[in-house]
Structure 1
Amino acid sequence: MSTTTATQFKRDILQDETTSEVTAILQENLTNLIDLALLMKQAHWNVVGPNFRSIHLQLDEIIETVRAGSDEVAERIVTLGVSADGRVSTVDADSKVETYPAGFVKVSETISRVADAVKQVIDSLRSAIERLGDLDAISEDMLIAISGELEKHLWMLQAQEA
């Protein structure tokens, strides 16, 4: 199977150099979002302790947001004429999200670790938003929306640590 990183679209949305820069920024965040969704599912399956059910269900809500965000980012990359890369090997090699432990994890530690991971992804998104400001307002706006949703989830996680 042959793979390419760029299409031969006749009507480019951005200029070549800008496309390369924007899609590289988006790819970084795609990798982090995919890894965050996987981390959250690991946490969802293995959380134990008091209030298990509420955090178990809350994690699924966050996962939905993260997966929708990763899909938007991937589709934006492809819209710009570049192949999105969500392969396991790429996520493993390039994600900046801290690894989640194996085994069962108590509710309080789960909340803390998940909140830390969400914050890492928010930080990456916010950095990307700053870099995209002069390059592509559409991609910038998309990441602002994704970050806003994740920030709300972070608030709700942190409220449980108090």
Structure 2
Amino acid sequence: MAEVKSPLGEDARKTVGNALQGALVDLIDLALVAKQAHWNLTGRNFKVVHEHLDEVVDLAREGQDDVAERAVAIGVNPDGRARTVADRTALPQLEAGYLADDKVVAAVTDALAQVIARFRERVAETDEPDPITQDLLISITAQLEKQHWMFQAQT
């Protein structure tokens, strides 16, 4: 099987690959958390929160693909398997069952803040070894921060 030759040196590839893998896990689980909330949401703000959750899911799914494809482009195999995500996620999981809209807004606001903090660390880590990956992470972080602002405004 052919391997992708990395444009990065070994140390840079390892650092950037780790950043991308962490970002991939965060984005996959963020999409899952938001979709779980979307399906089980209740409350008087149901419609607006329900639709807003889909924006987060779409953002996270698009980001997953961009991050995974960047990993492959630098010669790193992304791992988005369910077991990997379950073992490595740092996001708190939602309760089972129906979820009140105010609790969902608070939980998603918190989840976004956690993901953003880790993305900002990854932005700093990739500055020197790969500004191209850093640019991708900056772009995703900006979109996550916009969603965080919009959810936080509902609290």
Does TM, normalized by the shorter one, top 0.5? yes
Residue from 85, 97, 107 that aligns with 2:101? 107
CA displacement at 1:12 relative to structure 2: 2.5
Q: Partner residue of 1:79?
A: 73
Amino acid at match of 1:131: E
Residue from 1, 20, 29 that aligns with 1:26? 20
Matches within 5 A, 1:113-124: 113-124=107-118
8 Å Cα contact 2:29/2:85 also seen in 1 = yes
Residue from 128, 147, 157 that aligns with 2:141? 147
Residue from 85, 97, 103 that aligns with 1:91? 85
* TM-score, with structure 2 as normaliser: 0.96
CA displacement at 1:8 relative to structure 2: 2.8
Amino acid at match of 1:8: E
Residue from 147, 152, 156 that aligns with 2:150? 156
Number of residue pairs the alignment of both structures matches: 155
* TM-score, with structure 1 as normaliser: 0.92
Identity of aligned residues (%): 40
Unaligned residue ranges in structure 2 (runs of 5+): none
- Cα RMSD, aligned residues only: 1.2
* Shift >4 Å, 4+ stretches: none
CA displacement at 1:96 relative to structure 2: 1.2
